[in-house]
Structure 1
């Protein structure tokens, strides 16, 4: 038995009301006056009810606890004693901290049982709770994806062969791990992206270009044919994915799909200007510049590789999480560039053959010096100018090195988190299949409801076990 100590100002008073509760086999004695600090809590109501009656058959007391012994004055609860140790602190300290090893989602259930508001949680525990809720939602999403891939059909019943074909087409194009044909399509798409990018680069080599009727250097016809074949593949792939998408608006607004669209559009715009536009219009300088700009936009297709590379996706997320550190880096570099370029311009003015004509021109020197590039096209010639250059590149190295560790740490944390979530999702799927008798359809029915208590409970346990290193 463990007893919460009475506050010092309460010691020495006789006849003070106390209540004995048994939480999962652990007996706890609590001071009644302290419990009344939260009169709407379960323990406070139980204290007041027990003081009013000693009848073993009191239905009110029975509704507040699992069992009670009137002779010993002890009330029994089949609850988690570790969680109760944390919750009882609110009566004495007006705040609750979740101890390490306790599932925060289950802890919230305990607080609801004891009728303690979540506002009593300390700020650090609230953020921890929010992180775990996000992780559990991600696990549930991964579980649905795994079950839908394993089942071969969406969880909801789809009427009509047309919708079933659209679903199979969606799986073929969007889920490379669902079947062998889908892997072949993903590899083919990856190769088309590489070939298109290589052709775009090779087409700029003067030796491989040909002269057209107007005497201008253009891409070789063979390279244009390969480019056209790649664009046709990208167009067909995009249209099929759009047609089979369950949510076409969401599909069209997704970032990677916008990249796909921007990689396709320039080809057709240039084609329209070439074949539908008049000769006089094509001779305008503005139109020619627009055509050239659209052709340059073909570089956007290289970002399509991120669709097939989890490593690029992880790197993108790490950079997104490191925007604060990157902003600090740009701020440090900006301040350093301004200061050292101004100093270099001022110091080098005494030299008759100075290369620093103005402070804006000195910005270029400060940039290549602080980043340790040093092209050598502009350099100081005085002794003080060289000392200023030495200090500038030392400061540049320090400024660049400072945010590197947080960025790397964000990458590692996200990568490890994804591995944990994938492992937890696989264990959850296995558990659901065992409970449903190995039927993916029944498992999928359980996964459809994101708030399923059974699914949530098993997800919480698996997540905590994996994170603690005991899968």
Structure 2
């Protein structure tokens, strides 16, 4: 097999969805997995490297199509990043899934655009909040003390329920309903100011 030229189209089948782009487009992000397809190596060499990648299934020489068994919806955003230079996060995909797909394609999460950063980070914020609750409970703090410290005084649940079952409604309200408690109002207010702050945007991408 020979080499690609920059104007040659590359066909990618990701999770059953067909995408078509140029080799020159994939060259815009060196060091990423798709950039490998645009390297100056011959196709045989590229295929040898791709065979080491979990998730790469095959190359169809007849149709000149690469097949990857990955999330097709997320990949549309990944490919658009190569085309536009801006990485946006889909609103209908949870942060951990998007993070996993970015990792597979070799893209740094800090490349996510500021307008999508808070949405992308939301799952980590929830995990960090849960860690705080777990730490307080493990240290022997009463549930009322934990809730009161966050301005959530009206948490009354069955004492036999699991910790996640007890705190799940509180966590969701904290992030989804800014009027559910003092803690939720403080978080919503801080999120608004941080999101619009040039200092926050600068620090977030360091």
Question: Which of the five TM-score ranges fits, normalised by the shorter chain?
Answer: 0.5 to 0.7
Q: Which has the higher contact order (CA 8 A, sep 6+)?
A: 2
CA distance in 1, matches of 2:123, 2:151: 22
CA distance in 1, matches of 2:99, 2:122: 14
When residues 15 and 84 of structure 1 are mapped into structure 2, their CA distance, relative to the original with a 3 A threshold, is: closer
When residues 129 and 32 of structure 1 are mapped into structure 2, their CA distance, relative to the original with a 3 A threshold, is: same
Q: Which has the higher strand share?
A: 2
Deviation at 1:98, TM superposition (A): 0.8
Deviation at 1:45, TM superposition (A): 0.6
Deviation at 1:410, TM superposition (A): 6.5
Aligned 8 A contact 2:32 2:106 in 1: yes
When residues 413 and 175 of structure 1 are mapped into structure 2, their CA distance, relative to the original with a 3 A threshold, is: closer
User: 1:34 maps to what in 2?
Assistant: 25
TM-score normalized by the length of structure 1 = 0.29
CA distance in 1, matches of 2:7, 2:37: 16
Aligned residues: 156
User: 1:315 maps to what in 2?
Assistant: 151
Task: Render the CA deviation track for 1:58-84: whole Å, top value 9, x for unaligned.
Answer: 422312423222222111111111111
When residues 314 and 141 of structure 1 are mapped into structure 2, their CA distance, relative to the original with a 3 A threshold, is: closer
User: 2:90 maps to what in 1?
Assistant: 99
When residues 411 and 77 of structure 1 are mapped into structure 2, their CA distance, relative to the original with a 3 A threshold, is: same
Match of 2:66, SS state, is strand
Aligned with 2:52 (options 52, 55, 63): 63
CA distance in 1, matches of 2:65, 2:37: 11
Say which one has the larger Rg.
Answer: 1
Aligned with 1:411 (options 163, 166, 181): 181
Aligned with 1:53 (options 29, 43, 52): 43
CA distance in 1, matches of 2:183, 2:142: 26
User: 2:157 maps to what in 1?
Assistant: none
Aligned pairs for 1:109-120 (under 5 A) are 109-120=100-111
Deviation at 1:412, TM superposition (A): 7.2
Deviation at 1:131, TM superposition (A): 2.9
Q: Which has the higher helix share?
A: 1
Task: Render the CA deviation track for 1:82-102: whole Å, top value 9, x for unaligned.
Answer: 111111111121111111111
CA distance in 2, matches of 1:86, 1:55: 27
Aligned 8 A contact 2:15 2:70 in 1: yes
